[in-house]
Amino acid sequence: MSGRRIFARPARLAAIAPYVWMVLFFLVPFGFVLKISLSQTAIAQPPYEPVFDLTAGWEALRAAFAALSLDNFRLLASDDIYVFAYVRSLTVAVTATALLLLVGYPIAYGMARLPTRWQAVAMVLVIVPFWTSFLIRIYAWINILQHDGLLNQILLALHLVSQPVVWLSTDSAMYIGIVYSYLPFMILPLYATLAKMEPVLEEAASDLGAPPWQVFWLVTFPLSLPGVGAGVLLCFIPIVGEFVIPDLLAGSNSLMIGQTLWLEFFTNKDWPVASAAAIVLLVVLLVPLLLYERLQRRQLEQGR
């Protein structure tokens, strides 16, 4: 009896740990951002007001609360620049995720069908780029994509183009950068589900008269949907808020929400509007997250 109690306590602590983590590193910062988004910008330190001062007494605190307003959110809704930034972010994320799925699925499928000892090698090859700093890899792409860069040299040498193509500061360059950077996040979950799938199921489908494309659409793809869901969300959510890649590779004529946030925070020093934009982004991303949550729960229930 007492022996069980000794073991029960650490187990309970371990169960609480993720919640403590969530409260400390997500909920509390979220509270700060939410509060700032309801404040007004000010030329002060910090650059917004009101500031909650717990030592100033009850009346001052009530006054500070009363000063909070939804003005920043109204501004976001009324100014096209923000709406465009959100729409552009979502468009880029949807397009890039679709491209990632198209590129990542065949790679993951090929990996899952390799002989076991080669699968480990392929896995290392997918992960190896992470050993180099992300920024350096993006700068490497700038190098490859510039006017006299490697890509144009190859295209010219193969006589595919007669003039160097302008790649930098275009959406193409941005999509190349995004697909390149996020590919492992698409491949790994896809690979995990495809490797788990028994190849005999594909044989059974083909035995029952399904030509190869039907085997894929009726058996392989439906059974890999959990991996597709995980890969799509792992890519889609961070791409919506992506800042570095569009900033370095895309043109400056249309901004994604991440770039807009950066401008508000660091150039305009408008913390409240930037916070409001961040809150709206979070709410927008909550939708696919909840969808994914439900998908996973349904699979867990099915798995039983």
In the complex, what is the shortest distance from the CB of residue 196 to other proteins, in angstroms, rounded to a whole number? 11
The verdict on 205 binding other proteins (CB under 8 A) reads: yes
Interface mask (CB under 8 A) for other proteins, residues 141-180, using x and -?
A: ----------------------------------------
Map the footprint of other proteins across residues 206-245, applying CB under 8 A: 206-211, 214, 218-219, 222-223
Q: Is 209 helix (H, G, I), strand (E, B) or coil?
A: coil
Contact 69, 40 (CB under 8 A): yes
Long-range CB contact pairs, 67-72, < 8 A, 24+: 67/39, 67/40, 68/35, 68/38, 68/39, 69/38, 69/40, 70/38, 71/40, 72/37, 72/38, 72/272, 72/273, 72/275, 72/276
In the complex, what is the shortest distance from the CB of residue 236 to other proteins, in angstroms, rounded to a whole number? 24
Q: How far apart are CA 90 and CA 98, in angstroms?
A: 12
80 or 301: CB nearest other proteins: 301
In the complex, what is the shortest distance from the CB of residue 113 to other proteins, in angstroms, rounded to a whole number? 14
Both structure tokens of 258 = 């991440």
Give the range of 16-24, 167-175, 201-209, 231-239 binding other proteins by CB under 8 A.
201-209
Q: How far apart are CA 65 and CA 86, in angstroms?
A: 29
CA dihedral over 45, 51, 54, 57, signed as positive or negative? positive
Q: Is the peptide bond before 211 cis (omega within 30 degrees of 0)?
A: no
Give the range of 49-57, 113-121, 137-145, 194-202 binding other proteins by CB under 8 A.
194-202
The verdict on 302 binding other proteins (CB under 8 A) reads: yes
The verdict on 204 binding other proteins (CB under 8 A) reads: yes
21 or 217: CB nearest other proteins: 217
In the complex, what is the shortest distance from the CB of residue 221 to other proteins, in angstroms, rounded to a whole number? 10
In the complex, what is the shortest distance from the CB of residue 109 to other proteins, in angstroms, rounded to a whole number? 17
In the complex, what is the shortest distance from the CB of residue 1 to other proteins, in angstroms, rounded to a whole number? 38
59 or 198: CB nearest other proteins: 198
165 or 210: CB nearest other proteins: 210
In the complex, what is the shortest distance from the CB of residue 294 to other proteins, in angstroms, rounded to a whole number? 17
CB proximity list for 94: less than 8 A, separation 6 or greater: 236
Q: Say how many CA atoms lie within 13 Å of 304 toward its Cβ.
A: 5
Contact 145, 167 (CB under 8 A): yes
Q: Is 41 helix (H, G, I), strand (E, B) or coil?
A: strand
Both structure tokens of 269 = 């020093």
Q: How far apart are CA 265 and CA 77, in angstroms?
A: 18
CA dihedral over 52, 54, 60, 65, signed as positive or negative? positive
Give the range of 108-116, 157-165, 197-205, 284-292 binding other proteins by CB under 8 A.
197-205
9 or 304: CB nearest other proteins: 304
Q: Is 243 helix (H, G, I), strand (E, B) or coil?
A: coil
The verdict on 203 binding other proteins (CB under 8 A) reads: yes
Kindly determine how many residues on this chain lie close enough to bind other proteins according to the rule CB under 8 A. Answer: 19
110 or 222: CB nearest other proteins: 222
In the complex, what is the shortest distance from the CB of residue 195 to other proteins, in angstroms, rounded to a whole number? 16
Enumerate binding residues for other proteins (CB under 8 A): 198, 200-201, 203-211, 214, 218-219, 222-223, 302-303
